[in-house]
Amino acid sequence: MLTLKLISEETEHVIKGLEKKHFNGAREAIENVLALDKTRRATQQQLDKNLQEGKKMAARIGQLMKEGKADEAATIKAEVAGLKEAAKTLEHELSDIHNRLTELLCTIPNVPNDDVPEGKDASDNVVVKEGGHIPDLPEDALCHWDLCKKYNLINFDLGVKITGAGFPVYIGKMARLQRALEAFFLDEARKSGYMEIQPPYVVNEASGYGTGQLPDKEGQMYHCNLDNLYLIPTAEVPVTNLFRDEILDEKDLPIKYCAYSACFRREAGSYGKDVRGLNRLHQFDKVEIVRIDKPEHSYKSLDEMLAHVEGLCQKLELPYHILRLCGGDMSFTSAICYDFEVYSAAQKKWLEVSSVSNFESYQANRLKCRYRNSETKKIELCHTLNGSALALPRIVAAIMENNQTPEGIRVPKVLVPYCGFEMLDDKNF
């Protein structure tokens, strides 16, 4: 969440940034924060004054008793008791104000970086880079859901039988290709200096709050009601929460972690042709990269993460482009976000396969993730970053569609050592 320091010192900048994100009622929300904070500070000052007066009067009572002035001491004791009662009331008011202020701050999104373009939705995103070659497929080229049926690679109907729509069953060589992609992505992350983590797939409420998934305004997380736990929508949540309530040494930054996990998303409200096949699932696999960094270095880290994800697309021989998201299409928590999309030649459309974001201090403030400045010795907020490297379903869809041949589906060369075969075909074992 935004810091009170930023809101109070750069009020107009914050309001303009929130308006760029098309956050309704930006000025009113910020004015409410400032008014509540003013009340908080006034209440705190009154409490401090009461406590200070109480200490002075308590010391005076002892002196009066020594001087034999019991009646005068008793009068002051009554005044001290009144101050204590007033202090209890002020402490209760202060706690209530603090809770209301935190709740209000949690409803306000992150302020976008100045490089974020203006815009309302995905149509206003800016292509900043393109790469790869779009294949020229024949007119009778099949979409991946038809290829899955032809070669018995993924059974969507069995998934519906077992669980419901959006939970496919991977079969034979496709199951092996899934493992190959996971191993490839993790190996590439390790080569880039990321420490591998195997996190839990469920998190508690504090973890969901720390990274901004909670409060879950859109109802996208699966909730285990009995234990009040949440299935993770991405490994970002448990991995970033490793640093909740931590004070790190500056010399250890940046910290670079990666993790493979299954991801669970309700995808409420997603219907129609754009969700067919692997295009949108409720459960899918993904490798995530996470960085914890100093503010002055975090944008260099962002550039390195973008280069890492771009390298994965290149090694998989997929046509891709990189989009800088406009203010209206960004997530609630990000300060800047880049999406990677690969071209799916049979569907003739771009599919999002990664989002790489810098959250600056927004998540860190919620997490209380801090570091000790080696020069000033002051405790400061870290910057947090993460990115998909990569999400499997749409990568698989693009690989299948772009590499289809009369003999079968060609596997990208970089994956052959991992999966042990060169073609997805009728010999599906």
Q: Mean pLDDT across the stretch 17-26?
A: 97
Residue 219 confidence (pLDDT) above 90: no
| Least confident among 86-95, 141-150, 177-186, 278-287 | 86-95
Question: 160-180 pLDDT, tens per residue?
Answer: 999 999 999 999 999 999 999
| Overall pTM > 0.85 | yes
Q: Average pLDDT, whole number, for the chain?
A: 94
Annotated binding site for L-serine: 234, 265, 288, 386
The top-level CATH class assigned to 4-105 is: mainly alpha
Residue 234 confidence (pLDDT) above 70: yes
pLDDT score, position 114: 96
- Return the CA Rg of the chain: 28
pLDDT score, position 343: 98
Give the pLDDT band (50/70/90) at residue 86. Answer: confident
Closest CA to 323 of 354, 364, 288, 287: 354
pLDDT score, position 59: 75
Strands 255-264 and 195-197: parallel
Q: Is the previous residue joined to 233 through a cis bond, with omega within 30 degrees of 0? A: no
Q: Mean pLDDT across the stretch 30-35?
A: 97
b/e sequence 105-121, b meaning 16+ C-beta within 10 Å: bbebbbbbbeebbebee
Closest CA to 87 of 58, 114, 67, 61: 58
Closest CA to 239 of 223, 254, 259: 259
Separation of first and last alpha carbons in the chain: 50
Question: 115-135 pLDDT, tens per residue?
Answer: 999 999 999 999 999 999 999
- Distance between CA atoms of residues 426 and 429, nearest Å: 9
Q: Mean pLDDT across the stretch 140-151?
A: 97
The crossing angle, in degrees rounded to 10, of helices 173-191 and 392-402 is: 120
Annotated binding site: 234, 265-267, 288, 352-355, 386
Percentage of the chain lying above the pLDDT 70 cut: 98
Residue 192 confidence (pLDDT) above 90: yes
- Where in the chain are the domains? 4-105, 122-424
Q: Which residues pair with 381 in a beta bridge?
A: 370
Q: CATH code for 122-424?
A: 3.30.930.10
Annotated binding site for ATP: 265-267, 352-355
Neighbour-count burial of 164, counting CB atoms closer than 10 A to its CB (0-12 exposed, 13-18 middle, 19+ buried) = exposed
Q: Mean pLDDT across the stretch 27-36?
A: 97
CA atoms within 13 A on the CB side of 233: 16
pLDDT score, position 80: 76
Residue 314 confidence (pLDDT) above 70: yes
